[in-house]
Amino acid sequence: MKKIAILICFLAIISLGAKSQILKPVKWSYAAKKTSATTATIYIKATIDQGWHLYSQTIKEGGPVKTTFTFPAGKGYTLVGKTIEPKAITKNEPVFKMDVSFFEHSAIFQQKIKLTDNNVTVKGTVEFMTCNDKQCLPPEEIEFSVVVK
């Protein structure tokens, strides 16, 4: 009888856990396109769920965590300039007592590279924070890898 009671409790806990939802309001995708024999552009797309927003790379100190791209040194390429972002929405956020720039729906970031080899794999990480009008999720860091052919 004890085994049945323990099994029922275990199944109830699993059932409750399955119903709880992990929020992932930003989905990332990656692509690369050669722009010449020696250059390419890495495209990093954020698809943002309705009602959520992703912060710009240009957030000042004292605000939310800004989106940050990190590219460790790799073989076969060098970075050209900084990661470019689209025009952001800028509004005063009373919570942070400052103007804050962010994206809704989607944003495509671009990083230009100079190729020194063929068939290069560009690796990196993106750190970001996302909020809606009720909550902010903790900052998250995601690794990515893009093949340039």
Amino acid identity of 115?
L
Per-residue pLDDT, 115: 96
Per-residue pLDDT, 116: 93
The beta strands (E) that lie in the chain are given as: 26-34, 39-48, 53-55, 68-70, 77-84, 89-93, 98-103, 106-115, 120-128, 130-131, 140-148
**pTM more than 0.75:** yes
Q: Residue 60 has which token pair? A: 């000042």
Name all domains of the chain by residue range, CATH numbers in brackets. 25-148 (2.60.40.1250)
Per-residue pLDDT, 21: 66
* Per-residue CA distances from 38 to 71, 117, 120 (Å): 19, 8, 11
Mean pLDDT in consecutive groups of 10 residues from the start of the chain, 149 residues: 38 40 92 96 98 96 95 94 98 90 98 94 97 94 95
